[in-house]
Structure 1
Amino acid sequence: MSKNKKNVKNVSNSSSKFIFWVIGLIAVGILGLIFLGNFSDKEEEKAGTKQVKIDYSNQPFLGDESAPVSIIEFGDYKCPYCKDFAETAVPTIQKELIDTGKAKFYFMHDSFINVDSERSAKFAESVYQELGNEMFWKFHDLLYKKQPEDTKYEKIDYFTEEFLINTLKEIASDEEIDKVVKNFKENKSKDLWEEDMEYVAKLGVTGTPALFVNGKRFEGKTIDDLKEMVEKEAEGK
């Protein structure tokens, strides 16, 4: 699914960071619909409500694999709202839903901003393939931490291959880095990245970050709304 660039302003402080993230998500989604026109209102409604069967194998996740509910975040490493979500909302989700065994949390890529988005996503997939789930999340968090606040989203060639390798050096050994770089240069992570992007299209994702609970779009505004949706899914409602 093709997507045009979106202009995004820096995030300001809010009394409720989780609510602010949702407001940002709504804004990004609205801009996406205005500029892209990928879905009519009727098509968008269908994409957001239909049940899509999802293969969770070979996807990085947090939590107990036996947890009854699966939450997916679709994100882009160049998206400031995704950075804010990773740093403020995910720790709350971790405490309230993941650590309690109610849900497991997956990350899938929606690389829509520019070539940097795709490059960093594929490199992260290479990290996952070669070094496993735990190292993926360390690299994932580090990428968001190193996301520059003053970089305009249309600017490319910030998340260069050199930048990504240097970032990985902060957490991996030389031998591990060699494995990841070889994987990346041979484009072995392409299939995993393309699988994520196929779900972006199937689920009708129009902005990031976007959450889905057992394949259903999360439309709530607070962590309590998310907890309620998870509980209903766990009960089979």
Structure 2
Amino acid sequence: MRKAGVPVRLIDRVMPRPGARARVLVSAAMMLLALAVLAVAGLTGGSAPKRPVSTAPSARYGPTGTATPHPTGGTPTVFGPAPPKNDPALWLGSNSAPVTVEEFGDFQCPHCASFARRTEPELRRRYVDTGVVRFVWRDYPWIGKESERAAIAARAAARQGRFWPYHDALYAHRFPENSGHLDDDYLRGIAQRLGLDLSRFDADRRDPRVRAQVRREMGFAEALGMSGTPAFLINGTSLFGDQSLTTFVAAIEKARVGR
């Protein structure tokens, strides 16, 4: 089940946006376009003007969405929707890492949970701990209110420097979507187990700026044309779905060499 344009091999590895179940496969060209639009949405057909925006640290993207080495180093540009400013508390790894992996995820998405439990720990060990990769989290809580509630809670934990432990705890257990399990008691229980200041945690969850950050990230994902979760940009090149460790390793190594 997927949104039109997603390759067949991703069917069982990605949580599709609403309405995707009624869609069917389109031509191979459209399949490729669905991937390209992740990196360079807004180049054609939109009413918003094109503008350069900062993104991954080592690639620059042209009209086809194909990564090319940045010729002079420094901050590359992408022509498309401007990404919201990302909180460094949602980064994992060295700021000088040659490869940036941005994940667009939903805390209720089973495929995001599979990636977080099955693949991400090994990627952290191989690449984050060795200074090769910096992970960047971007919220895409499209499944429902509980997704947004969990995203807000994780950002409240980030204000106490505990985003990634909270992220891991949210993905440690899987509940049916929108079943009511991700309620205030459950979210506070995670915070308590992690040793957070609960009064501060509650206050930060109520802060309208935190909710606004989550919604801006979701708007950015939608502007890029994300058709489901998890979705990744690896130095700006798209990778869609809960792919195998081998696939992620190949993509990271390609980005590393192509700087």
One of 162, 170, 183 as aligned partner of 1:160: 183
Deviation at 1:100, TM superposition (A): 2.4
If each structure's helix is expressed as a fraction of its own residues, which one has the higher value? Answer: 1
CA distance in 2 between counterparts of 1:139 and 1:61 reads 13
Change in 2 beyond 3 A, CA 1:158/1:180: same
TM-fit CA distance, 1:32: 5.7
- Distance in 2, Cα, partners of 1:160 & 1:210: 26
Q: Is 1:62 aligned to 2:92, yes or no?
A: yes
Pair 1:88-2:88 in alignment: no
How does the TM-score come out when normalised to structure 1? 0.74
Counterpart of 2:12?
24
1:73 to 94, 103, 127: 103
Greater length-normalized contact order (CA 8 Å, ≥ 6 residues apart): 1
Higher strand share: 2
- Structure 1 residues 1-12: aligned runs within 5 Å: none
Given that residues 63 and 104 in structure 1 are in contact (C-alpha distance below 8 angstroms), is that contact kept between their aligned partners in structure 2?
yes
Where structure 2 has 5 or more consecutive residues not aligned to the other structure, the ranges are 3-8, 41-60, 62-77
Letter in 2 for 1:90: E
CA contact (8 A) 1:25 1:207 kept: no
1:122-201 map, 5 Å: 122-128=152-158, 130-132=159-161, 135-148=162-175, 151=176, 153=177, 155-173=178-196, 176-201=197-222
Q: 1:129-158 deviations in whole A, cap 9, x for unaligned?
A: x202xx11111111111333xx2x2x3422
**Counterparts of 2:17 and 2:86 in 1: how far apart (Å)?**
32
Decide whether aligned partners of structure 1 residues 30 and 163 sit closer, same or farther in structure 2, where only a CA change above 3 A counts: closer
The amino acid that maps onto 2:13 is L
Kindly indicate whether the alpha-carbon contact (under 8 Å) linking 2:104 and 2:139 is maintained by their aligned counterparts in 1.
yes
- TM-score, length-normalised on structure 2? 0.68
- Asked if structure 1 preserves the Cα contact closer than 8 Å seen for 2:91 and 2:134, the reply is yes
- Contact 2:39/2:236 (CA < 8 Å) preserved in 1? no
Q: 1:114 aligns with which of 144, 149, 173?
A: 144
Cα 1:45/1:140, change in 2 over 3 Å? closer
Assess, with a 3 A threshold, how the Cα gap between structure 1 residues 141 and 49 changes in structure 2: closer, same or farther.
Answer: closer
Aligned to 1:97: 127
Correspondence 1:231 to 2:253? yes
> 1:54 deviation in Å?
4.6
Kindly state the Cα deviation for residue 88 of structure 1 after the two structures are TM-superposed. Answer: 0.8
Matched-pair identity in %? 25
1:44 to 7, 26, 34: 34
Distance 2:19 2:226 in 1: 10
